[in-house]
Amino acid sequence: MDFKNTTLKEIHNKLVNKEITPLELVKQTLEVSKKELNSNFLITLCENEALKSAQELEDKVDINNILSAIPFIHKDNISTKGILTTAGSKILSNYIPSFDATIATKFKDAKSILIGKAALDELSMGGTGLFSFNGEVRNPYDNERIVGGSSSGSAYAVAKGIVPFATGGDTGDSIRKPASFNGIVGFKPTYGSISRYGAIPYAPSLDHLGFFTNNVEDLAYLCEATYEKDIKDFTSIENNHEFIKNINSVDKKIKFGYIKQVDDIIEGQLAKEYKKMYGILKNEGHEVVELDFNEDLLKAIPATYMMISFAEGVSSNYNLDGIKYGIRANGKDYKEIIKNSRTQAFGETVKRRFIIGSYQLKSENQELLLAKSKKVRRLIVEEIERLYQKVDILILPPTIKPAPTVKEVYGVDIEQQKNENNSFIDDLLILANFNGMPSITIPFVKEDNMPIGINLNAKPKEDLKVLQAAKYLEQIINDNFRQVGDFNE
Ligand code: GLN
């Protein structure tokens, strides 16, 4: 089945009307997945498990549950009982969890069928899809370009129509940026809405789980199935909404806003497209407000993110030492075993981030560096709160260019790039990780025949509102903007 242009509801109806059985559907999906394996999008194909689940569901599709018998893919940082879970890292390349992450349990309860575990930049650190231990994942539209990351395999799978949805993780932008690069929908809920119990962390105060889909409506089902306060995750919260019932309602007058200092950087055709969108919204009776964001704070986003996430990253992954988990190297004592295991099994990005993170965690540096970056985070959060006194929905550009080429990515000195004046433009989506607000990227326009998305945000806990706005914009975009079409075009 072509999942690219099909809603979950339509797949469900086909199953209910017996136009296709769960087993047929899963067999087709496995076949397509196998053909795609050389793209490295999967670390593990769950063939036997998927066939078994489908078999059990033959003639038992739940007519009251849209997710019943729907094939999907988990990002491989989500623990799955009895199934390899690597977080994209060699150090976990033999780790088989003895328990399910809460989100894995949720989809088991919903009787959705897990097809595989998707590649990610090691330990969710990175934004390219080039750094999963099993190999590079490239952009499905253009093999010379990156797919983006860290949730690279999940984005690839949905963009290519291999599965109708996939889970992802988002610490800085790892769902919402690849969504932009691949012409799909990527959503990160309010912090804590979906339990992270059993998700291998990057930086817990910024980590979120979320989804990739091909349309906004499908998110309503996924959110209702997964939002729940979970006693196993002390950061989880109650944030229930009647998504399915209300996803199509939209306020007559929405106050949209964009940040002046951000839109000033957008150039050429894309700038025109944003203006065109604002014009349409105004014509439809909505407000579009230009907002000011303290420029020093905007410029502080990349550094603040790096400081906080690197420190939390090294601290929350202290257990990946070759002793408790995963690959173990030789050594004369436990210290040497840890050192050798980590040296051999971690990639460059993880090593660099762990070193910088550890430096900040040294007691003499904590006050000077880490505490300071947390204060800056607080100031940024207050600045965002100030914006929401004027608007309901904040519009941001998830990316201002199509996915870069692999060559470009390898050619850039990362630290150098971050020192450039406008480098915040590439890290804007991190705003939503700093304050935990719900944030969604949907397909917007095309440039060089590559997709570029648009990103919408609302106040924390206003998940329904942001999805309603996204559903509304999705329609406007379908009617008024040119997008990248199917692969067979
Ligand atoms: N690109 C960001 C990084 O390199 C985002 C990572 C993420 O959201 N997991 O850390």
Per residue, the 3-state secondary structure of 39-78, as one string, reads HCCEEEECHHHHHHHHHHHCCCCCCCCCCCCCEEEEECCE
**Do residues 359 and 236 make contact, with C-beta atoms less than 8 angstroms apart?**
no
Question: Is 475 found in the same domain as 407?
Answer: yes
Burial call 175-203: b when 16+ CB within 10 Å, e when fewer: bbbbbbbbbbbbbbbbbbbbbbbbbbbbb
Which of the residues are catalytic?
75, 150, 174
334 CA to centre of ligand 1 in angstroms: 31
pLDDT at 419 over 60: no
Our answer on whether the CB atom of 338 is closer than 6 Å to any ligand 1 atom is no
Our answer on whether the CB atom of 202 is closer than 6 Å to any ligand 1 atom is yes
Query: Does residue 1 form part of some domain?
Result: no
**Per-residue confidence at 485, pLDDT binned at 50, 70, 90?**
low
**Do residues 381 and 435 make contact, with C-beta atoms less than 8 angstroms apart?**
yes
Angstrom distances, CA of residue 314 to CA of 46, 129, 252, 329, 370: 30, 21, 47, 20, 13
Angstrom distances, CA of residue 298 to CA of 257, 303, 310, 377: 16, 10, 19, 11
Query: Does residue 310 form part of some domain?
Result: yes
Which atom of ligand 1 is least distant from the CA of 202? Answer: 9
Nearest to 106 by CA among 227, 10, 19: 227
Question: Is 146 found in the same domain as 58?
Answer: yes
Question: Is 222 found in the same domain as 271?
Answer: no
Sign of CA dihedral 260, 263, 265, 271: negative
DSSP 340: H
Question: Is 219 found in the same domain as 165?
Answer: yes
- Cα separation of 7 and 25, whole Å? 15
- Cα separation of 331 and 308, whole Å? 32
Q: Whose CA is nearest to atom 3 of ligand 1?
A: 126
Amino acid symbol at 253: K
Two tokens, residue 408: 């470009």
Question: Is 289 found in the same domain as 302?
Answer: no
More confident: 301 or 417: 301
Question: Is 281 found in the same domain as 134?
Answer: no
Substitution site in 78, 122, 125, 439 for ligand 1 pocket (most atoms within 8 Å of beta carbon): 125
Query: Does residue 262 form part of some domain?
Result: yes
Our answer on whether the CB atom of 126 is closer than 6 Å to any ligand 1 atom is yes
pLDDT at 488 over 60: no
106 CA to centre of ligand 1 in angstroms: 25
Amino acid symbol at 300: A
Rounded to the nearest integer, the mean pLDDT of the chain is: 96
Q: How confident is the model over 118-129, as pLDDT tens digits?
A: 999 999 999 999
Q: Which CATH number characterizes residue 18's domain?
A: 3.90.1300.10
Which pLDDT score, from 0 to 100, does residue 2 have?
83
**Per-residue confidence at 149, pLDDT binned at 50, 70, 90?**
very high
**Per-residue confidence at 450, pLDDT binned at 50, 70, 90?**
very high
What is the residue range of 197's domain? 8-250+396-480
Our answer on whether the CB atom of 171 is closer than 6 Å to any ligand 1 atom is yes
Average pLDDT over residues 329-350: 96
Is 170 in a helix, a strand, or coil?
strand
450 has which bridge partners?
Answer: 447
Query: Does residue 486 form part of some domain?
Result: no
- Number of domains the chain is built from: 3
Beta-carbon contacts of 5 under 8 Å, excluding residues fewer than 6 positions away, are 214, 486
Question: Is 309 found in the same domain as 264?
Answer: no
Which pLDDT score, from 0 to 100, does residue 255 have?
98
Is 157 in a helix, a strand, or coil?
helix
Average pLDDT over residues 147-158: 98
Average pLDDT over residues 153-169: 98
126 CA to centre of ligand 1 in angstroms: 5
Nearest to 74 by CA among 194, 7, 154: 154
Beta-carbon contacts of 333 under 8 Å, excluding residues fewer than 6 positions away, are none
Share above pLDDT 90 across residues of the chain, in percent, rounded to a whole number: 93
Substitution site in 128, 154, 309 for ligand 1 pocket (most atoms within 8 Å of beta carbon): 309
192 φψ region: left (φ > 0), alpha (ψ -120 to 50), beta (else): left
Strand order across the beta sheet in which 450-457 lies: 42-45, 113-118, 71-75, 165-170, 208-213, 185-188, 439-447, 450-457, 393-396, 255-259, 287-291
Question: Is 15 found in the same domain as 131?
Answer: yes
With 0-12 CB in 10 A as exposed, 13-18 as middle and 19+ as buried, what is 253? exposed
Query: Does residue 23 form part of some domain?
Result: yes
Which pLDDT score, from 0 to 100, does residue 18 have?
97
20 CA to centre of ligand 1 in angstroms: 39
131 CA to centre of ligand 1 in angstroms: 12
**Domain stop point among 394, 424, 458:** 394
Which contiguous run of DSSP H or E holds residue 457? strand 450-457
Query: Does residue 195 form part of some domain?
Result: yes
Question: Is 273 found in the same domain as 230?
Answer: no
Q: How confident is the model over 248-272, as pLDDT tens digits?
A: 999 889 999 999 999 999 999 999 9
Query: Does residue 488 form part of some domain?
Result: no
**Per-residue confidence at 489, pLDDT binned at 50, 70, 90?**
very low
Average pLDDT over residues 132-138: 97
Phi and psi at residue 440, to the nearest 5°: -135, 135
Amino acid symbol at 425: I
Average pLDDT over residues 10-28: 98
Substitution site in 146, 191, 202 for ligand 1 pocket (most atoms within 8 Å of beta carbon): 202
99 φψ region: left (φ > 0), alpha (ψ -120 to 50), beta (else): beta
Query: Does residue 443 form part of some domain?
Result: yes
pLDDT at 417 over 70: no
Question: Is 317 found in the same domain as 277?
Answer: no
Q: How confident is the model over 214-251, as pLDDT tens digits?
A: 999 999 999 999 999 999 999 999 999 999 999 999 98
- Cα separation of 265 and 297, whole Å? 16
pLDDT at 486 over 70: no
Average pLDDT over residues 66-88: 98
Average pLDDT over residues 320-332: 92
Average pLDDT over residues 323-336: 93
Which atom of ligand 1 is least distant from the CA of 349? Answer: 4
Q: How confident is the model over 174-192, as pLDDT tens digits?
A: 999 999 999 999 999 999 9
Question: Is 157 found in the same domain as 67?
Answer: yes
Our answer on whether the CB atom of 150 is closer than 6 Å to any ligand 1 atom is yes
465 CA to centre of ligand 1 in angstroms: 26
DSSP 239: -
Average pLDDT over residues 402-412: 90
Q: Whose CA is nearest to atom 4 of ligand 1?
A: 126
pLDDT at 281 over 60: yes
Which atom of ligand 1 is least distant from the CA of 171? Answer: 8
pTM higher than the cut 0.95: yes
Question: Is 278 found in the same domain as 343?
Answer: no
